[in-house]
Chain A
Amino acid sequence: MGLREDQIERYSRQILLPRIGGKGQQKLLDARVLIIGAGGLGSPAALYLASAGIGRIGIVDSDKVELSNLQRQILHSTADLGRTKVDSAKDTLNAINQDAEVVPDQIRLTSENIMDIIAKYDIIIDGSDNFPTRYLVNDACVISGKPLVHGGIFRFDGQAMTILPGESACYRCLFPEPPPPGLVPSCQEAGILGAVAGIIGTMQANEVLKYILGIGNLLTGRLLIFNALDSSFRQVKVPRDPKCPVCSEKPTVTKLIDYEQFCSLRQKKEE
């Protein structure tokens, strides 16, 4: 086994676990995980994955750190205000664990660039905060057969589901089309409790760890729903939709779509 002495000690508490051991640790060190969004979901996910010794962590985010992010985006500190989120994320993760090579990518994902980016990774975490990116990521992962861990948060609620393209339901099996622009308030307008992001993002990291280790049962074919006010978890079965626009045998979505940006706040800012 090629583990260094310091790695044996650093990862000892998970090497001890039945079904992980040195071989499992080596799988984690060899794994490549892409996290889309270094925000509320991406922060806890990245922290746990880097700590666990995931060998390469790609982080895509086009934004800079703002004061209103810090209530939930625990990768970033007050000193990081104004920096790009991906640079801030890289510094935070490197400070925890140099074993995790962090690949920062400060871009907005589009139908043009997403396929090349996801191709370099074994599994994708969607921690995006808007519908255009969520559908783009789902479609790109389904079309290229990449496992995807979806997460979403809204006010006091959160949800998560793992998608193994061709095997389990995808996001469009659940919601075939995005809502029309303006109908659903974006995360920025609706508000969010930071701990909800922590719970769902951590759940996404846990799914990735299980997938890489090949242990346990993934959240496939079932949507996990968390409510913070009740402290309740429930699960809804999500069968594959034989008429799914993207993952059925006769898909209507065969190339990637750049949906309009929904968030009116963001539109104003970018104008």
Chain B
Amino acid sequence: MTENINKRLNLKGVSCPLNFVKTKLKLEEMQDKQILEVILDDGEPMKNVPRSIKEEGHKIIKVEKLPDGGFKLLIKKGGRKDG
């Protein structure tokens, strides 16, 4: 299954919580149901960012481990209008 990716954000080397701040700002610019691809480091970022994304009401539709140890997430924008 291939998803139509609308925006991409490479957050390798970006630490918490700035990686989530950048994800949140990018999602704000997008339309509902659009897909954002985010690349995150393993460890703290993978522990925190997906949870925060879900708390804001967005959906994580795919998580893929990358050969370099990072992760690729596909996020479908949803959630609160006031986010």
Contact = CB atoms under 8 A, between A and B. Distances in A.
A22 interface: yes
B83 interface: yes
B83 A9 contact: no
Interface in A56-84: none
Interface string A10-24: 001101101101110
B21 A18 contact: no
A12 B20 CA distance: 9
A195 interface: no
Nearest to B80: A18
Nearest to B83: A21
Contact of A15 (B24, B29, B56, B80): B24
B20 A1 contact: no
Interface in A1-51: 1, 3, 8-9, 12-13, 15-16, 18-19, 21-23
A22 B22 CA distance: 10
A23 B22 CA distance: 13
A12 B21 contact: yes
B22 A8 contact: yes
A16 B83 contact: no
B17 interface: yes
Given A8-B21, A12-B18, A18 B56 contact: yes
B28 A23 contact: yes
- 9 A-B pairs closest in CB distance: A22-B25, A12-B21, A19-B82, A22-B28, A15-B21, A21-B28, A1-B25, A21-B83, A12-B18
Given A9-B18, A12-B18, A18 B83 contact: yes
Q: Is the interface of B mostly helix, strand, loop or mixed?
A: helix
Interface of B: 17-18, 20-22, 24-25, 28-29, 56, 80, 82-83
Contacts of B80: 18
B51 to A, nearest CB: 13
Nearest to A22: B25
Q: What is the size category of the interface that chain A forms with chain B?
A: 10 to 19
9 contacts: A8-B21, A8-B25, A9-B18, A12-B17, A12-B21, A15-B25, A18-B80, A21-B28, A23-B28
Among B29, B56, B80, B82, max chain A CB count under 10 A is at B82
A8 to B, nearest CB: 6
A47 to B, nearest CB: 23
Nearest to A8: B21
Contacts of B83: 18-19, 21
Nearest to B26: A1
Given A18-B83, A22-B24, 9 more contacts: A1-B29, A8-B22, A8-B25, A12-B17, A13-B17, A18-B82, A21-B24, A22-B25, A22-B28
A16 B29 contact: no
A122 B22 CA distance: 29
Contacts of B20: 16
Contacts of B56: 18
Nearest to A19: B82
A21 B18 contact: no
Contacts of B25: 1, 3, 8, 15, 21-22
